[in-house]
Homo-oligomer: A and B are copies of this chain.
């Protein structure tokens, strides 16, 4: 699901073009996350791929569109999760099941780097149409997990549970800790946070 072509222009399947497009996406995502979106010039990306700046403009009509190309995939995935959630009651059990499904989409689609990019470049993404949509979906996600009329603490706990899944890398910085350990810890903390039922006060 993660590597599917989005809009298939004629003879694309032969390889050359899609390959370049995919390589641009990968290099861009890496650089955008490491050094930041604005500090990464198109010239850098082009040089790393052995082409010129203008060549990128054949595959993407703007720098912003490169970002859209990997964020929109994530958006779809989240929409599916919301759709499933809306067929379920808002119970701790469903929330735990949801967390498991959520991390599965994160790993299966290799979206962990995408979510890292999102966090690192919040302000940048917020100014893009795709960023607004993503914000909406995350709100919808939380609203589907917990009643918006519930106490704020309950809503916050659950939102932070989701958040923990993304930001464990940022928060657990010891060099001898592996990504797997981080993810395992994040999963456990997330499950704890969404399991707590609503309590008044």
B-binding residues in A (CB < 8 A): 32-33, 35-39, 119-124, 126-127, 135, 139, 142, 148, 151-153, 155-157, 159-160, 163-164, 167-168, 171-174, 177, 181-182, 184-186, 188-189, 192
CA separation between A186 and B127, bound complex, in Å?
A: 26
A196 to chain B: closest residue by CB: B192
Copies of the chain in the assembly: 2
Contact: B177 with A36, CB < 8 Å? no
Q: Which of B124, B153, B172 meets A185, CB within 8 Å?
A: B153
Expressed in whole angstroms, the minimum distance between the Cβ of A36 and any Cβ of chain B is 3
Alpha-carbon distance between A182 and B174 when the two chains are bound, in angstroms: 31
A148 and B174 in contact (CB under 8 A), knowing A153-B185, A156-B164? yes
How far, in whole Å, are A173 and B148 apart by their CA atoms in the complex? 10
Q: Are A159 and B171 in contact (CB under 8 A)?
A: yes
Q: Which of A124, A139, A177 has the most CB of B within 10 A?
A: A124
- B residues near A123, Cβ cutoff 8 Å: 32-33, 35-37, 39, 120-121, 124
